[in-house]
Amino acid sequence: MAALDTHSSRIPHRDLIGLVDFSVPSAVPRLQLVDVAGGRVISHHLVAHGKGSDPANTGVVQKFSNRPGSNASSHGAFLTANSYYGKHGKSRRLIGLDPENDNALARAIVIHSASYVDPIMARSQGRIGRSLGCFTLTRGDLSEVLSRLGEGRMLFAAR
């Protein structure tokens, strides 16, 4: 909520936010969509972290980076921007609002889906696959997340 207040002038839609808890393993649904006014979690989703954040592929974030080419996840507040169709199909751009993630747009850190984010893999291997720093969801969850977490909202990631 502090980040939402800090960046209030840049976040036009404050009714719903996305929260990513990178302190828990990737096999756990760690992206929550939160109804701010109602004070309740609407939904939970699996979300990948970057390869550079977990070099040993343990399923747990070890570090963050904002550096281009790091293939790591960044933390902090992001503004959801426009959606587009790219390599992974429909995706949503993110603009980093903090010094720890202000390269997100230039690094092409986005929300998209991929086959390596899979509940069966999460159960059998205790982890899901890793991205190149993007917030990657299951194919089945992408449509709901992109529509609810539309342009002009906040996504906040932390450990």
Q: Residue 7: give its domain's CATH number.
A: 2.40.440.10
Q: What is the pLDDT of residue 31?
A: 98
Residue 109 · residue 131 · CB < 8 Å: no
pLDDT of 31-83, one tens digit each? 999 999 999 999 999 999 999 999 999 999 999 999 999 999 999 999 999 99
Residue 124 CB: number of other CB atoms within 10 A?
A: 10
Of the candidates 35, 64, 34, 68, the residue with the CA atom closest to the CA atom of residue 52: 64
Domain of residue 111 covers 2-158
CA separation, residue 99 to residues 5, 26, 104, 124 (Å): 17, 25, 10, 37
Structural domains in the chain (count):
1
Q: What is the pLDDT of residue 151?
A: 97
Pairwise CA distance, residues 117 & 125, whole Å? 12
Which tokens go with 21? 């808890």
Pairwise CA distance, residues 124 & 151, whole Å? 35
Q: Structure pTM?
A: 0.97
pLDDT of 75-133, one tens digit each? 999 999 999 999 999 999 999 999 999 999 999 999 999 999 999 999 999 999 999 99
CA separation, residue 50 to residues 11, 32, 74, 147 (Å): 25, 18, 9, 23
Of the candidates 64, 73, 58, the residue with the CA atom closest to the CA atom of residue 111: 73
Q: What is the pLDDT of residue 119?
A: 97
3-state secondary structure of 84: strand
Q: What is the pLDDT of residue 113?
A: 98
Q: What is the pLDDT of residue 56?
A: 97
Going 152 to 71 to 46 to 156, the CA torsion angle's sign is: negative
